[in-house]
Every structure is written in C-alpha cells, then in structure tokens.
Structure 1
C-alpha cells in the first residue's frame, strides 16, 4: 500500500514538473522530501560496503605520499644518485606533477566512463607505476614510475569525493566522507611502518613499491561489483539503471522518493556538454571560486610543510624520526576519527572554522617557539607541541571537509569537471608550498613564516564564515537549489 502511494506520488510529481496543464482545484502532489521523512532514513549499511571499496583509492593516495619518506636514502644509494639533492627532489616532486595532470582530467574521465570505471583507470597507472619503480635500475625508471603513480593519485581523490557524495544517504554523507581522510591516514602510517627496514635491509625499498600494487589491484577488481552512481546514470539518460542502483544503495522503499528528488534538477541541462569557460565565469563561478579558494587556503595554511619537514624539527629536538612519525600519524588519525563522529552532528561549516582557527593558534605556538622570547628548552616543547597541534586541528576539519563540501555544493551538471579544476588548484599550491618552504625558512626565518601561515588560517576562518553554506543533512538537490542563481 505504501509502495503504491509512493509510486503515485512520484508520477504525479513528474507530471507537474513537465509543465502539463494542472487544474487549480487539483491537490498538489506530496513533496519527495516529505515522503522520505514519512518512511524514515534509508539503511546506512547498504551503501557502506561500496564506500569502503572506494576508500582504497584514498589509502593508496596516502601510501604513495609517504612511501619515499623512509626509503629515499636507500633508493638514491642503490640507483646511483646519492647526495644529488636535485635528483632526490625530482623523485618526490615528479609524483606531484603527475597528480596535477591526473586531477586536471579526472572530471572528464569520471563523466565520460562513469565513477566505477574511473576508479579502475585510477588503479591501472598505480599498478604499472609501482611495478616500474620496484624493478628499475636507474633514476629515469624511478621518475617514470613516480609519474605514473602520481597520475593515479591525482585521479583518485576527486572521483572518491564524487562517489561518496552521490551514493551516500544524506544523513551519513559527512561520516562517510571522513572515511576517505581516515583511509589516507592509514596509507601514510602504513608506508612509514613498511619502510622502516629500508635503512638496514638492502633492496627493501623495492618491496615497499611492490606492496602498493596489491590494494590497487583489489580496487580495480572489487569496483567491478560495486554500484555505479545513480546521478551519473541519470545524467547519461539511463534512468532504469539509476533506479536499480538506488535500490542497491537505499532499499526498494526509497527508490521512488530518490528518483523524484533527482527529477527536481533541470534534465535538459544534463544532456549539454559542459564548456571549460562555464567554470570560470557566469552562474557557476561562485561555487567554483568557493571550492578553489578552500583548497588554496588549505595548502597555504602550511599543513604540508609541517608534514614534509616535521622530522627535521623533531630531530633538532632530539626525538627519533620513527617515534616522531608515529606521533604525527596518530594525531592525524585521532583527529580524523573525531571529525567522522562530528561531521553530521556539528556540520561542515563549524568544523571548518574551528579547525582553521585551531591551526592559526597552533602556528602561533610554533612561531613563539622559534623566537628569542623563550628559552631553548621551552622552544623544543613549543615547537613539537605546535606541530602535533597543527596536525590534530587540521584533521578535525580542514583536511576532510573541503573535498566533501565541494562535491556537495557543485551542481550535478558541472560537478565532476569543476571538482577536477579545484583539485588542480590544490596540487599547484601544494607544489609551490613544498618547493619554497625551506628557502623561505632560511630567508625570512621561522617566526615570520609561521606567522604568515597563521594569517592564512585566520583568513580561511573569515572566508568560510562569509561564503560557505552548511550542507549537513541536506540532499544534493536542496543544496544546488540554494546555491545556484535562478535564471
């Protein structure tokens, strides 16, 4: 009886949206949101398994970011470029360059072949690149392998953000979005622990690269059994398949209300190709600007400078690098778990402002620790404590929220391609922060540099307060209607 009522409501809604003549005396059909409230929330367990498979791409992302941290010394020695800082820098930065190009084209790939196939295409260069890196006999082979791996790294995160937003029930979308950050933490910590024997065991670094091919292969295989995004299917004109996937993800009772909700988007826009210029001006500029600025501020907060060079600070404080990396990893993981718990309770906006404000205070602590205002013993405690505090507060919001929020606020028509542009901004700023950090540290000193990072964090708080819409518990269509100017 209830299923028949939903079906009638759905078709009534479709007739109304098609602008057919409706008698003034005819009663308005029930709103799909009200229908979903009447039948309750869909079960979260149905979509969880699909999300967990997708987070393998984030695990790989974290692993490849950290895999050269412990192994770079032995790699340079075995491949004959030990002491060549330019070559060592290329081994690290080539991966970031590949990530830039991978992220730049991720939207076109995700829209062209679908989210599932995009994950599989993400896994392919990671498998090939890891194999090339593990078997190479010279620097050029290593650089080729890192370039291929970077391409997969750039493709994975934006597709994961899209997939999580499009297959998750609205009431747990924030929690599921945090799982990608947690998976990244596990990837980083895994690479550090697996790489520990590299300094004492000859050739162990090759094992470290071979290991990464296993989760990449699992991602490619398991994604074959996961659901495709109903949003992409409907956008591709495959409404029947979209209903089938909604049933897999939400249950049969929620299919009609979910399809009715999707029908609120202007279907005529979906069949038109998105031009690149549309992302830079016009009605879509606002949301693309918000997303790009959030990613730029995330990197200008100095977090990756902390991640890349924290070992140097710990070493100067007499703390062993293994113990230091463990502390940083645990802080990152703990903050990500807390963010997962709070994401759908406090909301994205609150977590973002609190996180950036906490980072600003933590950067000030590091600046004070680097000044002449405190003794050497106090400086050690402030510097180490500041680093751990930065990592913890970053993981509470500034880390997991931007990619999730961006996938929520971008209109469905431009979502994949606009995500690609914003992620490309992320990688460009990330590259320059990593490139210039040590030089700026030498030229202007830690006091000024950490103060600059703190200032960017405070600017981020102001930006979020003025521009970011709270998306907690809202459907993607509700968010789109609230943000997109009506023309």
Structure 2
C-alpha cells in the first residue's frame, strides 16, 4: 500500500479544507472536525507569545550580523592579516563560518529534541561568543578562520531552532507574521553590521570592534531565554503534559488550553516518543516533504542572494558606486521588504509570496546581467547594476527569504520536525558555503554577465518548482496540516 502514498501533496489539496460537524456549542473556543482534530473558532491573543518570539529573534539578529560582518571589513582584515589580494583566502574568511554552520545545522535536530528549544538557543550562543572573541583578537589568518568556524556552528544551530520555536508557540492566525519577524531580525543584524563596519576603512583595527560587539546580543539571548516559555510541543513529546498545559495557558490563555492540548495529542497519534532515523527521513512517506524542503533551500541559495550580501561592497565598487551608501540602501530595502512580507504572509499566503519573489529576482538578476553587457556603459551600467541589486534584495525579502524556513516548520510532522529541519538546513548550508567560496572566482573567470544570467535561470527554475510542488498552509494549525498532508503509515 505504500506506493499509493507518493503524492502527499494531492492528498493535502483534497483534504486541506475539511467540513465541520454542525454541533458547535455556544461559548466554546473550539469545534471538532470530522477527523477528530480540534480547531479554534477564535484567535488567541498574540501579545502573550510576542515577547518570547522577540527574544528568539535575537538568534536571527546574530545570524544576519555574522553573515555580513565581513562585508565592509574584509579589505581591512586582509591587510591586517597579510592576505590582501588573495581571493581564495578572502573567500575562506567569508565561507568558513558557513562550514561551521553546516555542522551546527546537522546537530540542531538532535540538540533541539534532546535538551529542548530554550536550552538549544542558549547553547548556540556559546560558540558565537567564543568565536567572535577569537576573531577580534587574532593576528593571523588561521585564528580568524578558527574563530569564524566557531561562530558558524552557533549560526547553524540557531535558525532551525528559531523556526521550530516560533511555529510551535505562535497562534495560528499570526504564525506567518511571527515567522516573518525572524527575517526582519536578520535584516536588522545585516544593517547593524554594515553601519558598525563603516569606519573600518579609515580606522585601524576597527574590524576587531565589529566582531567583539556581537558578544552583547549573544549574551542577551542566553540570559533572556531563561525567562521564556519552553515549546509545549516539545514538552508533550517528552511526556510532560502538565507543563505543556501550563505553557499553553501562558502563551494562549486559559480558554484555549484544552483545545490546544487535544489537537496536539491527536496530531501526535502516540508516535512522538519513537526514535527518528535518517533512513526514515529520506525514504517512505516522509521523502516527498524532505525533498521539497531540500530543493527549496537549494534554490534559495542558487538564486544568488548571498553573493549580494557577502560581496555587495566589491560589486558596488566595481560599478563605480560608493559602497557604504549603497550597502545602507541594501539594508533599508531588505528591511522594507521583510516588513512587507510580515504584513502579507497571513493575507496572501506562503505560496503566492514565493512565486512573486522568485519571479522578481529573475527579472532583477536579468537586469544585473544587462548591466554587465557591452550594451550598457558608464552611468547606465552603474544605475542598472545598483538598481538590479536593490531589486534582487527587495524581491528576496518579500518571499524567498522568510518563507522557506516558516513553511518547512509548518509542513513537517511534529515527530520528525526538528530532525527534518536540521536535514534541510544542512542542504542550505552546503549551497551557501559553495556560493560564498566560489563567487569571486566565478566572477573573475566567467564574467558577471554569465554569472548573473545563471542566477536568473535558477530563479525561473524555482518559480516552476514552487508552482508545482508547494502547498498553502495559511490559516491552518500545525496539526491540521499534519493530518491532511501525511499519508497513513
């Protein structure tokens, strides 16, 4: 019978909107679906869970900060550590943290399921603090690379745990909005690193300050998370039902506790304590969802967005534009798009934002390729290059940036959610590392026109993939999605 389970997504489309039993009682906060799940008829107050989401978003702030901290400072670092002009060494400084992020991502599922979401956040701050201080104090390239490796380990652990945590503590009606806050926090981290890095060109060793100040938000995350609620999904998975009820009351309000526990228990189906093996993720009834997540993250990176974030200073400089002003514009556009995504996420839905985002990026990358062609020169080339880059960032921040992490945390069943996110994020970091390491060399050997044309082609490929495979999860609880999407065992 397993062969009939291959098209989980068509199952989802047929069963996503199930009829309600006409027995809703007056004054109840929930109704029972025909499949036995519980659906809330009202919306729990978002203010209860909002502070916990804000604290969790500090991990995304740190992610964005360390992702871009070498953007303005790379030239100063290369001079101070004696590898100026060595593009391979420069690429390693950028991409070594991404190799560490791969390691952190691989371990994130085991850690998140083993010690809980709160302790995972606290653990991710430890290598970030150690690595940032090592990078700030080093006097050679190897010290910088080891420091970046440590930082990357924390970067890899943070994002999947943040996506899990926010999806599991957020009311259904604002889950997309709260998920978008993680992208906004990433944008703020990117902007902060750009602003702090501006004096690096004129002030000796200022780049050391840029690394050292990141210790402050990392320490704040570790301390504040001590006062945040644990994920009730994780507590119930560990058999701590009484604590899960208490947390639900804290996050949603007392009137929603019974319906939330009943729905979560129904979705679990008694499987939560089973061990999840790698073979279970890459075969059988879970394969289609894992494949979707992995390809979506791979296409996100192959769109070329992180080449923009890592090397925008170099690109703007080659186009004749002041890099500091241009990078500030990149940060503001990124933030504006992320705010737009937050507003639209629970209105237009995840799939619509992904389609519009990748389509816009394809056009913008085509503009970049046109700017590098022989038909554009002088001021026209500069305006097309800068304008195309800003268009890429805006389109990315509206969908391709915030949606994949949120979408995958929604579609994966609770039993495999942490480990499935870890697997897909590992794919993300492999492609992220490759782009960071090879972009400058590809730019030199192939030329910008061909490189940007390839990025545009991957964006178009992503449009087709999303249209065919991605399902809409807007307005549905995690348990509704699991019951509708996952074929029977």
Q: How does the TM-score come out when normalised to structure 2?
A: 0.91
Partners of 2:435 and 2:240 in 1: CA distance: 43
Task: Find the counterpart in structure 2 of residue 77 from structure 1.
Answer: 79
Partners of 2:91 and 2:303 in 1: CA distance: 22
Task: Find the counterpart in structure 1 of residue 275 from structure 2.
Answer: 273
Task: Find the counterpart in structure 2 of residue 310 from structure 1.
Answer: 312
Task: Find the counterpart in structure 2 of residue 292 from structure 1.
Answer: 294
Higher relative contact order (CA 8 A, sep 6+): 2
Partners of 2:313 and 2:141 in 1: CA distance: 25
Q: Mapping of 1:337-416 within 5 angstroms? A: 337-416=339-418
Offset, 1:439: 3.1
Partners of 1:214 and 1:437 in 2: CA distance: 31
Secondary structure of the residue that 2:72 maps to in structure 1? coil
Task: Find the counterpart in structure 1 of residue 262 from structure 2.
Answer: 260
Distance 1:331 1:261, change over 3 A: same
How many residues matched? 466
Partners of 2:273 and 2:484 in 1: CA distance: 22
Secondary structure of the residue that 1:46 maps to in structure 2? coil
Task: Find the counterpart in structure 2 of residue 486 from structure 1.
Answer: 488
Partners of 2:35 and 2:70 in 1: CA distance: 59
Task: Find the counterpart in structure 2 of residue 330 from structure 1.
Answer: 332
Offset, 1:83: 4.2
Partners of 1:189 and 1:156 in 2: CA distance: 19
Partners of 1:3 and 1:129 in 2: CA distance: 57
Secondary structure of the residue that 2:358 maps to in structure 1? helix
Distance 1:192 1:266, change over 3 A: closer
Partners of 1:322 and 1:266 in 2: CA distance: 51
Offset, 1:447: 2.8
Structure 2: segments with no counterpart, 5+ residues: 1-23
Offset, 1:433: 2.0
Task: Find the counterpart in structure 2 of residue 57 from structure 1.
Answer: 59
Partners of 2:195 and 2:150 in 1: CA distance: 24
Kindly indicate whether residue 182 of structure 2 is the aligned counterpart of residue 169 of structure 1: no
Q: Mapping of 1:424-463 within 5 angstroms? A: 424-463=426-465
1:354–1:397: 8 Å Cα contact kept in structure 2? yes
Output the aligned Cα RMSD: 2.2
Offset, 1:125: 0.9
Secondary structure of the residue that 1:264 maps to in structure 2? helix
1:79–1:137: 8 Å Cα contact kept in structure 2? yes
Q: How does the TM-score come out when normalised to structure 1?
A: 0.91
1:195–1:205: 8 Å Cα contact kept in structure 2? yes
Partners of 1:77 and 1:377 in 2: CA distance: 31
2:467 to 462, 465, 468: 465
Secondary structure of the residue that 1:469 maps to in structure 2? coil
Q: Which has the larger radius of gyration?
A: 1
1:32 to 32, 38, 49: 38
Task: Find the counterpart in structure 2 of residue 118 from structure 1.
Answer: 120
Structure 1: segments with no counterpart, 5+ residues: 18-27
1:3–1:253: 8 Å Cα contact kept in structure 2? no
Partners of 2:375 and 2:206 in 1: CA distance: 45
2:91–2:438: 8 Å Cα contact kept in structure 1? no
Offset, 1:377: 3.3
Task: Find the counterpart in structure 1 of residue 6 from structure 2.
Answer: none
Which digits, 9 at most, give the CA deviation of each residue in 1:39-85, with x for residues without a partner? Answer: x2100000000000000000000111111222233333333444444
Secondary structure of the residue that 1:45 maps to in structure 2? coil
Task: Find the counterpart in structure 2 of residue 160 from structure 1.
Answer: 162
Partners of 1:404 and 1:374 in 2: CA distance: 39
Partners of 2:268 and 2:332 in 1: CA distance: 45
